[in-house]
Structure 1
Amino acid sequence: MPVRLYLDAPLTEGALLTLPPEPSRHVQVLRMQPGDDLLIFNGHDDGVEWLAEVTRMGRQDVDVRIGASQTCHRELPRTVVLAVGMPANERMDALVEKATELGARGMQPLQCARSVLKLSGERAEKRRAHWQGVAVAASEQSGRTRVPLIEPIRTIDAWLAALPAEPAPGEVRHVLSFAPDAVQVKDLPADARHITFLSGPEGGLDPREEALARQRGFIPLSLGPRVLRADTAPLAALTLVGALG
């Protein structure tokens, strides 16, 4: 597959564009030359990517000519959002990368009572921007035509309070749980088109947080008898939904 690049800009056949700094560096590192082919997507036109050709290699920037558009179908048929208690260290980077590859539409990083990673202010925004870059790179690599939106970091209490009290038609909310009344992924309603999975950090959600989630329409969901890591559980749920089609 040709090199794929994400450009947050309108794209039209025949347009001549100078690539922004980051995509330009990517092309230069690969030692591409005028006449080499690329694929470009902008995330705005669902299921569309454009052929492109390198026309100039500058010292700091690269020019390309946009060619014909082509349609492709690589997104999940259901919209899946992961609301995750942020795991510590570099595990959040890997979680964003793999969730993007598996088709997540968006991610909401959360600070919970048992969170090890604590971020606020400028540090929080820098990490969010970093994770958004991870999502861009994973979308380029995996062939997606959308880039998942990484939302600003919020506390779980503030995020739950801002949700509508009841899910909309076609929407389901699940909190990953070992509760005795937890349902299975195979029990998802056939007409569920938008799914939100809520999962905790290391140590999981505390009982108060899970109770608050239930009050906002989150149904407990079991992923089996084994205890999964904070960065494994949401990926497992996403994978199972992808297998359902």
Structure 2
Amino acid sequence: MRIPRIFSGQPLSELRDIELDEAASRHLVKVLRLGSGHPLTLFDGHGGEYSARLTTTGKRARVRIETFLAENRQSPLALSLAIGISRGERFDWVVQKATELGATVLQPLLTERCEVKLSGERLKKKRTHWRRIAISACEQCGRNLLPEIAEPVKLAHYLQNLTQKTAPAAKLVLHHRTRLDLHQWQAEHGKPDSALLLVGPEGGLSQVEIDTALARDFIPLRLGPRVMRTETAPIAALSVLQFQWGDL
């Protein structure tokens, strides 16, 4: 029997009854057609998950929270993805797949070749949209800690504010005209517990942006002989890093 996983924006605790929001209620009752008594798994994004049961169906379903399980399914590698914002649904795809692959921080960037303009109310709506995608991905993949989706900033500002204290152990920038052997890097530096991956938008990062990253101790990483699209490259790179240093 499938046990649906549902995110709740309200704090959760054992042995209490809560009312789900309309979206979650509609999914359980209208889409999945679940009845009273059906088991659920709830999580609030702060760590761990709760077993629960559906007690009342309707526009706002109610559930009974039962026991807590301290399980987060986090990778031992803390992965941050800083990536230029792409057009259309490409960036939505990146948010979804990066969440499934265990990225802990997603930093949208405004770069020289970025064609997306965000500000004010549009920016607020976009961040809300991306957060919903990340929540849905967590519900599907079993993560109980939501990734942080930072406010978009200019790449120069982002690099300038990366300090030695806050920067991950391994800082990598995708660059198809170079080559990096991760085995060699690990032999010299050891296996890192954190990594930052910097990726450009459509058209990639400019040479000036790459040079600026390299000047701040980023290491160029090449993903083979083929040039990948902006929505493919970060997913391939995150998979490689999780395989090499994480839990794949």
TM-score norm. by structure 1 comes to 0.90
Moved more, 127-136 or 28-37: 28-37
For 1:229 and 1:167, how far apart are their aligned partners in 2?
32
Partner residue, 1:5: 6
Equivalent runs, 1:190-229 vs 2, <5 Å: 190-229=190-229
The answer (yes or no) to whether the contact 2:176–2:227 under 8 Å persists in 1 is no
Equivalent position of 1:38 in the other structure: 40
Deviation readout 1:55-114 (Å, 9 max, x if unpaired): 1123x3111111112244622110101101112111111111111111111211111111
SS of match in other structure, 2:103:
coil
How far apart, in 1, do the equivalents of 2:193 and 2:149 lie?
Answer: 20
Q: 1:177 to 1:79 in 2, by over 3 A?
A: same
Deviates more, 1:92-101 or 1:8-17: 8-17
Residues 169 and 211 of structure 1, relative CA distance in 2, 3 Å threshold: closer
**Alignment partner, residue 184 of structure 1:** 181
Is 1:102 paired with 2:101?
Answer: yes
- Structure 1 stretches of at least 4 aligned residues deviating more than 4 Å after TM superposition: 167-170
Identity %: 38
Q: Which amino acid aligns with 1:54?
A: L
* Distance in 2 (alpha carbons) for counterparts of 1:212 and 1:167: 19
- Structure 1 counterpart of 2:20: 19
Can you give the 5+ residue segments of structure 1 that lack an aligned partner in the other structure?
none
Tell me the amino acid that sits aligned with residue 174 of structure 1. L
- What is the CA–CA distance in structure 1 between the aligned matches of 2:149 and 2:23, rounded to whole Å? 19
Post-superposition shift, 1:192? 1.1
Unaligned runs of 5+ in 2: none
Residues 139 and 147, structure 1, Cα contact 8 Å, conserved in 2: yes
- Asked whether the equivalents of residues 167 and 217 of structure 1 are also in contact (C-alpha less than 8 Å), the reply is no
Trace 1:10-89 onto structure 2 (pairs within 5 A): 10-29=11-30, 30-45=32-47, 48-58=48-58, 60-72=59-71, 74-89=73-88
Higher deviation after alignment, 7-16 or 86-95 = 7-16
Other-structure match for 2:150: 151
TM-score normalised over the length of structure 2? 0.89
State the match for 2:232 in structure 1: 232
Aligned to 2:169: 171
Alpha-carbon deviation of 1:167?
5.6
Residues 213 and 143 from structure 1, CA distance in 2 versus in 1: closer, same or farther, beyond 3 angstroms? Answer: same
Q: Deviations over 1:120-156 (max 9, x none)?
A: 2221221111011000001101111122121111111
Deviations for 1:30-75, whole angstroms, at most 9, x for unmatched residues?
A: 2222111101112212xx22110011123x3111111112244622
Tell whether the 8 Å contact from 1:185 to 1:222 is kept in structure 2 after alignment.
Answer: no
SS state at 2:208 partner: helix
